[in-house]
């Protein structure tokens, strides 16, 4: 499907679209007459997402590693897309890192921070070519950009770095009418969240149910968000209804962190 020419005015690139929040974003935006470029490393997962969308044939899957600038550049060229209306920079990896022989610091930083930077930079020429009055970039950070968690130094650092990246790019790209914002979700009902809870339960030698209960004790509303809630908020941020929000970080965390 990589040879199809897509409509230019309402094309949205979503990274990490093969699962979790990325899949929900794609499902939500497909109902709003966007043509979607679904980017991720796992082509099979991307195809599952694409087939779940409204008008599935109008959307495109791109298998690519965002850690490589050339990979992103070549993938976008293969789509033959002329411009982008919006970029949702959602791709990322989670988990712990330890300063040892199996340290994941570089992997996490390269994916979450450098990979997002690469994706944005390769997308900017396409965003500038779009005919819309404003084009949009939404960066998915995390509540852990705001909080410190033992053993998650790489994840916390990478997600905090995205907030600085958001502010810098918002100032830099304002003249081009490109709005750049970040979201910091807290606990969201995804596989990544439950993998985190499993690691928590194993570290404390408690059940998964008890780990969930303890995690929710720190959340005033006592619940996780649903992926579709994040998607709906992003749909507003990239819509024509808003042309004034840029350089902002918005927290969706059920009250877990109130700056």
Tell me the residue ranges of DSSP E strands in 66-209. 86-89, 135-140, 178-185
Mean pLDDT of the chain: 92
* Main-chain phi, psi angles of 7, to 5 degrees: -60, 145
Q: What percent of the chain has pLDDT over 90?
A: 80
Q: What percent of the chain has pLDDT over 70?
A: 97
What is the rounded average pLDDT of the residues 73-77? 96
Which pLDDT belongs to residue 8? 43
Specify whether the CB–CB gap between 16 and 40 falls below 8 A: yes
Q: Dmax of the chain from CA atoms? A: 56
Residue 11, pLDDT above cutoff 60: yes
Instruction: Please tell me the pTM assigned to this model.
Output: 0.92
**Pairwise pLDDT comparison (144 vs 199), residue with the higher score:** 144
How far apart are alpha carbons 73 and 67 in whole angstroms? Answer: 11
Which pLDDT belongs to residue 9? 60
What is the rounded average pLDDT of the residues 16-26? 96
Which of 60-64, 99-103, 137-141 bottoms out in mean pLDDT, i.e. has the lowest?
99-103
Digit-coded pLDDT (tens) for 230-244: 999 999 999 999 999
Which pLDDT belongs to residue 198? 81
CATH number of 11-187+226-252: 3.40.50.720
Which pLDDT belongs to residue 222? 93
Bridge partner list, 138: 88, 181
What is the rounded average pLDDT of the residues 80-101? 94
Show me where the domains of the chain are located: 11-187+226-252, 190-224
Which pLDDT belongs to residue 1? 40
What is the rounded average pLDDT of the residues 102-131? 97
Digit-coded pLDDT (tens) for 150-192: 899 999 999 999 999 999 999 999 999 999 999 999 999 888 8
Which pLDDT belongs to residue 4? 47
């Amino acid at each position: 499907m990589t040879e199809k020419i897509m409509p230019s005015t309402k094309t949205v690139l979503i990274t990490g679209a093969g699962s979790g929040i990325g899949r929900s974003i794609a499902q939500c935006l497909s109902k709003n007459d966007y043509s979607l470029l679904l980017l991720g490393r796992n082509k099979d997962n991307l195809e599952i997402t694409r087939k779940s969308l409204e008008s599935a044939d109008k959307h495109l899957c791109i298998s690519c590693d965002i850690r490589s600038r050339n990979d992103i550049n070549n993938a976008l060229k293969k789509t033959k897309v002329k411009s982008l209306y919006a970029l949702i920079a959602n791709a990322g990896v989670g988990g712990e890192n330890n300063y040892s022989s199996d340290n994941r610091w570089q992997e996490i930083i390269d994916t979450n921070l450098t990979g997002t930077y690469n994706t944005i930079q390769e997308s900017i020429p396409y965003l500038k070519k779009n005919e819309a009055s404003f084009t949009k970039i939404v960066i998915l950070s995390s509540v852990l950009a705001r909080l410190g968690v033992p053993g998650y130094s790489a994840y916390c650092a990478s997600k905090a770095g995205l907030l600085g990246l958001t502010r810098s790019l918002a100032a830099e790209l304002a003249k081009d009418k490109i709005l750049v914002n970040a979201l910091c979700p807290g606990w969201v009902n995804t596989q990544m969240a439950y993998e985190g809870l499993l690691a928590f339960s194993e570290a404390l030698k408690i059940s998964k149910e008890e780990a969930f209960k303890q995690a929710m004790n720190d959340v005033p509303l006592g619940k996780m968000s649903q992926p579709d809630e994040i998607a709906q908020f992003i749909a507003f941020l990239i819509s024509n209804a808003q042309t004034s929000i840029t350089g902002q970080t918005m927290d969706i965390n059920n009250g877990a962190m109130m700056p």
